[in-house]
């Protein structure tokens, strides 16, 4: 007779037991993921309904009070204007937080839409024309930290262009390059010497965020020849692919925006 562990019924029982254990582990993992999604949804709803509405009310009331005061109380009017500006900024930050933790906004297309809207609000208001090119039709999904860091790097670069570049045009391209997602932002402004950069330019913060995602940032600039910022983030460990995600990796949509010259 063969040993006990080599008999067919023992092998069959062991295989069934392993399958049951694997199934239980998988079900437990799916249950925890679903619970996490529900928590994210509740937090997003609470932030939007409670804190968001309160900030909106503060902003509206401060604007009404400033209008009623007019020029009668210059000092008070200045403080109210500051309250109004801070509440607007807090409301924008709250909107970004709600967007990041909302599980319904996990797709690449949601990130593209958010970036395009931010560029349309910031650049034309400063008289800067821009183009925006990005992949279209993708079902790529990414985690909240990846979306948040990449979006904040994008906004910081755009704000640097508005504050420092003194340019008339900016070109933005988001594309897939092998195992990496590349964000390229170029302007035709004054440029600068990358070897003589102060902390105020935000490059240290950009590099820190890129390293946190396992990526890199390359800044190419010369005085009088504009600046190009290239951010590359590997998506192999941060992105999840849905069905058909690899079918059209190079399709792109382009947006053109313009501001008054």
- The residue from 104, 131, 163 where one domain ends is 104
Query: Same domain, yes or no, for 158 and 253?
Result: yes
CB-based contact 66:84 (threshold 8 Å): yes
Domain count, the chain: 2
Give the domain extent around 11.
Answer: 1-104
Alpha helices in 102-143 (DSSP H): 108-122
Give φ, ψ of 143 to 5 degrees.
-75, 165
Query: Same domain, yes or no, for 96 and 115?
Result: no
Whole-number Å distance between alpha carbons of 53 and 75: 28
Count Cβ atoms within 10 A of the Cβ of residue 146 and give its class: 0-12 exposed, 13-18 middle, 19 or more buried. Answer: buried
Q: Please tell me the least confidently modeled range out of 20-24, 76-80, 240-244, 255-259.
A: 240-244
Query: Same domain, yes or no, for 150 and 182?
Result: yes
Question: Which tokens in the block code for residue 121?
Answer: 């609000």
Question: Which tokens in the block code for residue 12?
Answer: 């069959």
Q: What is the pTM of this model?
A: 0.63
pLDDT score, position 250: 37
pLDDT at residue 226 is higher than 80: yes
Output the CA–CA distances (angstroms, integers) from residue 191 to 127, 194, 201, in the order listed. 18, 9, 12
- The residue from 104, 138, 158 where one domain ends is 104
pLDDT score, position 44: 64
- The residue from 88, 104, 120 where one domain ends is 104
Give φ, ψ of 254 to 5 degrees.
-125, 135
pLDDT tens column, 33-89:
777 676 666 666 666 556 666 667 677 777 777 676 665 566 676 677 777 777 777
Whole-number Å distance between alpha carbons of 185 and 118: 14
What kind and span of H or E run contains 187?
strand 180-187
């Amino acid at each position: 007779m063969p040993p006990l562990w080599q008999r067919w019924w023992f092998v069959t029982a062991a295989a069934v037991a392993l399958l049951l254990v694997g199934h239980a582990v998988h079900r437990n993992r799916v249950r925890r993921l679903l619970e996490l999604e529900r928590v994210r949804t509740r937090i997003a709803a609470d932030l939007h309904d409670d804190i968001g509405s309160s900030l909106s009310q503060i902003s509206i009331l401060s604007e009404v009070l400033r209008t009623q005061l007019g020029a009668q109380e210059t000092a008070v009017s200045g403080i109210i204007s500051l309250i109004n500006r801070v509440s607007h900024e807090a409301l924008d930050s709250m909107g970004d937080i709600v967007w990041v933790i909302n599980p319904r906004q996990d797709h690449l297309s949601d990130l593209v839409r958010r970036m395009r809207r931010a560029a349309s609000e910031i650049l034309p208001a400063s008289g800067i024309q821009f183009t925006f090119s990005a992949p279209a039709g993708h079902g790529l999904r990414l985690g909240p930290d990846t979306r948040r860091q990449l979006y904040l790097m994008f906004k910081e670069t755009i704000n640097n262009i508005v504050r420092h570049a003194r340019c008339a045009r900016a070109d933005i391209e988001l594309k897939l390059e092998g195992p990496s997602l590349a964000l390229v932002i170029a302007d035709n402004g004054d440029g600068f010497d990358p070897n003589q950069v102060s902390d105020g330019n935000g490059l240290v913060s950009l590099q820190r965020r890129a390293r946190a995602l396992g990526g890199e940032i390359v800044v190419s600039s010369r005085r009088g020849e504009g600046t190009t910022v290239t951010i590359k983030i590997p998506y192999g460990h941060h992105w999840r692919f849905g069905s058909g995600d690899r079918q059209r990796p190079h399709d792109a949509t382009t947006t053109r925006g313009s501001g008054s010259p």
